[in-house]
Structure 1
Amino acid sequence: MKRANYLSSCPVLIKHLINQESLIKNAAEATFGLTIWELIKLRVSQLNQCAFCIAMHTKQAREYGELPNRIIGLSAWQDMPLYTEHERLALKLCEKLTQAQPIDDTFYQTLTDAFSAQGLVALTVAINAINSWNRIVKTFKPDVEFNE
């Protein structure tokens, strides 16, 4: 079945999501870094089983210099010695938020010890944004392009 082209069917709304990505990128650069941003986009897309976004964010992560073994190991990040403490905290937060798990006070304190308030808000918005994109893409199913 051919599905609607979400980019052209409602360009005003999609433009806001695209503009949000630019704002998130700027906030990520200023607070927690583009590496973490790409890792969370890829991990959330894995959790949501969004093939289009996995392909896109794998390519983007490689363009930002991410190493193939860190991309491959991301699905088992808890058991891999490849990620920094900041990356691990961001990945744990992205899993909790994506799976609608509570953020208890102990974990929140750990987050605030590692990230500034601005950084934690930006990280939370970034996680929310990629979840939103995953849901849009899973509804409209654009063609997946996984070109190396």
Structure 2
Amino acid sequence: MKENSEAYATLGKLDTLGRESSIPKKLQELIKIYASSLNHCAFCIDMHTKEALENGESIQRVVGVNAWREAPFYSDQERVVLELVEEVTFIHQHGVSDAVYSELEKHYDEKQIGELYLLIATINAYNRLGIMSQLQPKEDK
């Protein structure tokens, strides 16, 4: 990070745009936790779990996000976003399906869909940088 601070600052600007978007803060954190989990980024899982709880998210929904399909406590609007997170995170496998995009359009306008894309792309970039840099969360005391 210190060797390429300008690049990290630019990524930070994208993160700020995502945080200031119209997407609810709780959903933003679920996006970040789920993508980080799919990418196995322990540092980001730790950080965003704590941020979600600080923003009033329930422990049940934070812990259950990896089983969102089976869990009854996510709305249809959240479910399609979590599906999008998965498809974007694993975009190399099948791309983003027309079915997911069609479902997104039922719940979000074009601006919000763009904001979701930004949030998902940014956390995926952070995950990859965190993993490559071998960032580790500090153990809670």
Contact 1:42/1:58, CA 8 A, preserved across alignment = yes
Aligned partner of 2:99 among 66, 86, 106: 106
Q: 1:128 is matched with which residue?
A: 121
| RMSD over aligned Cα atoms | 1.3
Matched residues, percent identical?
A: 31
Q: Unmatched 5+ residue regions in structure 2? A: none
The amino acid of 2:54's aligned partner reads: E
Runs of 4+ in 1 over 3 A off after TM superposition: none
1:107 is displaced (CA, Å) by: 2.5
Unaligned runs of 5+ in 1: 1-5
Secondary structure at 2:113 match in 1: helix
Task: Give 1:15 shift.
Answer: 0.7
Aligned equivalents of 2:136 and 2:86: distance in 1? 26
Superposed, which structure 2 residues align to 1:72-87 within 5 Å?
Answer: 72-87=63-78
Counting only pairs closer than 5 Å after superposition, residues 1-148 of structure 1 correspond to structure 2 as 6=1, 8-27=2-21, 30=22, 32-100=23-91, 101-147=94-140
CA deviation after TM superposition for structure 1 residue 102, in Å: 2.5
Of structures 1 and 2, the one scoring higher in RCO (CA 8 A, sep 6+) is 1
